[in-house]
Amino acid sequence: MRAVYIEKDIPRALLVKALKSVWPGVAYSPLSHAHWVELPDPQLPGPRWVRVRNRQCGICGSDLSLLFAEANIDIAPFALPSTQRFYLGHEIVGHVVEVGPGVTRLKVGDRVIMDSRFTNPTCLSQEIDPPCPHCAMGNYTRCENASLGLGVQGVGGGWGDSFIAHETELYAVPADLTDDQAMMVEPISTSVRAVLRCLPQPGQQVLILGGGVIGLSTLQCVRALAPDCHVTIVTRYPHQAEMARQLGAHEVVRGEDGYQMTARITHAKLYRGIFNNRMLLGGFDVIYDCVGSAQSVQDCLRWARAGGSVMLLGVKMARFHVDLSPIWHQEVELTGVLAHGAEDWQGKRCHTYEVVIELMRRGELHVDGLITHRFPLSEWKRAVATARDKRTGSIKVVITVDG
């Protein structure tokens, strides 16, 4: 088994964080908390465990954040014991090559993607009965028993050739999806979940901040699920702007001041206080922040109209110094979204993945333009460099299993 993993080794992570600006290769060095390894294939640790052979895997921003030690150790998740080793690569499509005697959900040959395997253990993967209320509903990322440490953890990830997982941590994808579509179900599910949790109404003004894969996926989801609203997207790079136009954005913004842009599009009134402190009365009805920085959160709260909503999809694993006063002053709602779970859609309770797959089948969610680069596993460092540098024209970079 080949794999790349991150050890929860705080001193080494801090060393990478401190040196990476002057020594870009420190993340790949023996001093790093990251490791590229070749291991003997582990035995399945229990009757309900499964071995998966990888076919391809996308590179996610969270993978890069872990690899280059961009997380701060004083944020809430790091207060929990949780997992001590993180195998990189969760946007995987692969096929089952071995199942334990107690597996009932999958069989050898099934094509699968990760469900909860890459977040934390759940009541299901730890075989806790009865499960906590969140796991019982299918919202596994909220599991109240995630840090109990019962049982064993899976080994391997998408930046490798195979991995093992509890059968409840995997999702079987239908045969009519291509490998590219199957691989993109997981990343697109975050956007679907965000839009379903805050569905724009007909005629409303929507802003999407960020032209990466999550921003562009959110654009597609809004156009599919709320076709009668007006959608503006803010992108940084020309190739992102061009893709946004192809995906149906009503207005694509690059380089324009965000406050002036909001006033122009929504007819909000822009006011300026001392020290360039600016605020709008009026603004967008719904904003999807797909950047997730301190600056983006602060701006989005001010660009939303009174009573509007800001959905936080982008992830920066750091403490923020942010003005939250619009939450009480203008009663703006700020809601975070992580991954996927249980949705109420078209009168039924279902997995977010089911919604993504149905929209793909309808031709309302496309992946071809989002996947821009492919590299074999042996060139994973080149893949990482391409994914980090958006000047390469990258949106989603894919690692394919070689040999």
Could you say which of 336, 352, 378 is where a domain stops?
A: 336
Instruction: Please indicate, yes or no, whether residues 278 and 396 belong to a single structural domain of this protein.
Output: no
The CATH number covering residue 192 comes to: 3.40.50.720
Q: Is residue 342 included in any domain, yes or no?
A: no
Q: Is residue 237 included in any domain, yes or no?
A: yes
The CATH number covering residue 40 comes to: 3.90.180.10
Q: What is the pLDDT of residues 359-377, one digit of tens each?
A: 999 999 999 899 999 999 9
Q: What is the 3-state secondary structure (H, E, C) of the chain?
A: CEEEEEECCHHHHHHHHHHCCCCHHHHHCCCCCEEEEECCCCCCCCCCEEEEEEEEEECCHHHHHHHCCCCCCCCHHHHCCCCCEEECCCEEEEEEEEECCCCCCCCCCCEEEECCCCCCCCCCCCCCCCCCHHHHHCCHHHCCCCCCCCCCCCCCCCCCCEEEEEHHHEEECCCCCCHHHHHHHHHHHHHHHHHHHCCCCCCCEEEEECCCHHHHHHHHHHHHHCCCCEEEEECCCHHHHHHHHHCCCCEEECCCCHHHHHHHHHCCEEEECHHHCEEEECCEEEEEECCCCHHHHHHHHHHEEEEEEEEECCCCCCCCCCCCHHHHHCCCEEEECCCCCEEEECCEEEEHHHHHHHHHHCCCCCCCCCEEEEEEHHHHHHHHHHHHCHHHCCCEEEEECCC
Q: Is residue 178 included in any domain, yes or no?
A: no
Q: Is residue 177 included in any domain, yes or no?
A: no
Q: Is residue 256 included in any domain, yes or no?
A: yes
Instruction: Please indicate, yes or no, whether residues 48 and 159 belong to a single structural domain of this protein.
Output: yes
Instruction: Please indicate, yes or no, whether residues 201 and 331 belong to a single structural domain of this protein.
Output: yes
Q: Is residue 356 included in any domain, yes or no?
A: no
Could you say which of 319, 336, 353 is where a domain stops?
A: 336
Residue stretches of the chain with pLDDT short of 50: none
Instruction: Please indicate, yes or no, whether residues 157 and 21 belong to a single structural domain of this protein.
Output: yes
Could you say which of 314, 336, 358 is where a domain stops?
A: 336
Q: Is residue 352 included in any domain, yes or no?
A: no
Instruction: Please indicate, yes or no, whether residues 193 and 313 belong to a single structural domain of this protein.
Output: yes
Q: Is residue 393 included in any domain, yes or no?
A: yes
Instruction: Please indicate, yes or no, whether residues 38 and 146 belong to a single structural domain of this protein.
Output: yes
The domain tally of the chain equals 2
Domain with 71, as residue range(s), is 2-172+370-400
Q: What is the pLDDT of residue 293?
A: 96
Instruction: Please indicate, yes or no, whether residues 70 and 132 belong to a single structural domain of this protein.
Output: yes
Q: What is the pLDDT of residues 97-141, one digit of tens each?
A: 999 999 999 999 999 999 988 888 999 999 999 999 999 999 999
Instruction: Please indicate, yes or no, whether residues 202 and 160 belong to a single structural domain of this protein.
Output: no
Instruction: Please indicate, yes or no, whether residues 211 and 131 belong to a single structural domain of this protein.
Output: no
Q: What is the pLDDT of residue 72?
A: 86
Instruction: Please indicate, yes or no, whether residues 69 and 152 belong to a single structural domain of this protein.
Output: yes
Q: What is the pLDDT of residues 194-248, one digit of tens each?
A: 999 999 999 999 999 999 999 999 999 999 999 999 999 999 999 999 999 999 9
Instruction: Please indicate, yes or no, whether residues 288 and 321 belong to a single structural domain of this protein.
Output: yes
Instruction: Please indicate, yes or no, whether residues 45 and 88 belong to a single structural domain of this protein.
Output: yes
